Amino acid sequence: MSERSERVQRRAQTGLPALAIALLVVTMVTGIGLAMADGAISGADREPGERRVAVSLAAGLIAPESPLTERANVLDANRLARFDETRLRTAFPVANETAVAVELDGRSVAATGETDRGTTIRRLVVVEEQTAETLEPALGWQRRVTLPRRGYRANLTLSPPPSTNITAVRANSRVALHDDDGLSGQYEIPLSRFETTTVRFSASGPLPPGSVRIEYDAIRTRKATLAVSADG
């Protein structure tokens, strides 16, 4: 074998491992590249389904016609306390297909599954609480009393002394009750939540303390955040 052909053979033998290494490197980089691209695309996945569920469920929960609300964005504390998973499923059937969780200020209200990895939408709401309060005013010479809080209605219990006839009850100059023969017993009068109410009594004689008792719904509100999460 000549010196030249020996050299050619050596060259061919170094080319083979180089080709193997080249193929290995290209295959590895292709694999890593595919994984990176896949990660980037799945990271940009907006999960439109669960986002839509969270957005529309949150909007439905605070809408005026929702089982929770008194009016738009105002939740009723009593209905909120009674709300649970069953009522959520009944009122919003989408909760059957997707795991959703409703939280108010971090406290769970109702949940139909785990939503740790899901999408969360927060809405601002006001929680309205109605408490019955009783007032037994000592009426002055003007015979009027201003209710300290606004409410939807008031219950009056009138028990005037025998010599006195209560002929009229006015709420802010609007005549709420009227009877020339004398009012006595229990009456309910509607109030406006937009203004403070002053109740005025017209009577033919003295009205000592205890002859009028007013029971009214005091409205108390507090602000809260309603968080709705959906997963799946």
Task: Please choose, out of 3-11, 99-107, 153-161, 163-171, the segment that lies near another protein by the rule CB under 8 A.
Answer: 3-11
CA distance 170 to 62: 36
Tell me: does residue 90 bind another protein (CB under 8 A): no
Applying CB under 8 A, which of residues 2, 5, 14, 163 lies at the interface with another protein?
Answer: 14
What is the radius of gyration, based on Cα positions, of the chain?
A: 37
Applying CB under 8 A, which of residues 3, 44, 173, 209 lies at the interface with another protein?
Answer: 44
- Smallest distance from another protein to CB 131, Å: 17
The separation between CA 188 and the C-alpha centre of its own chain, rounded to angstroms, equals: 31
Question: Residues 207, 164: contact at Cβ < 8 Å?
Answer: yes
CA distance 17 to 19: 5
**What is the 8-class DSSP label of residue 211?**
S
Tell me: does residue 78 bind another protein (CB under 8 A): no
Q: For another protein, which is the closer residue by CB, 73 or 167?
A: 73
Please report, as residue ranges, which positions from 93 to 132 form the binding site for another protein (by CB under 8 A).
Answer: 119, 121-126
Please report, as residue ranges, which positions from 187 to 226 form the binding site for another protein (by CB under 8 A).
Answer: 193-195, 223, 225
CA distance 199 to 214: 10
Count of residues for the chain? 232
Beta bridge partners of 69: 75
Tell me: does residue 37 bind another protein (CB under 8 A): yes
- Smallest distance from another protein to CB 137, Å: 23
Applying CB under 8 A, which of residues 77, 150, 164, 184 lies at the interface with another protein?
Answer: 150
- Smallest distance from another protein to CB 133, Å: 18
- Smallest distance from another protein to CB 72, Å: 5
Strand order in the sheet with 174-178: 144-146, 198-203, 166-171, 174-178
Closest CA to 225 of 124, 127, 83: 124
Q: Where are the beta strands (DSSP E) in the chain?
A: 69-71, 74-76, 99-104, 107-111, 119-135, 144-146, 153-158, 166-171, 174-178, 185-190, 198-203, 212-231
Applying CB under 8 A, which of residues 1, 43, 142, 180 lies at the interface with another protein?
Answer: 43
Q: Which residues bind another protein (CB under 8 A)?
A: 7, 10-11, 14-15, 18-19, 21-23, 25-26, 29-30, 33-34, 36-37, 40-41, 43-46, 51, 55, 58, 62, 71-74, 119, 121-126, 150, 193-195, 223, 225
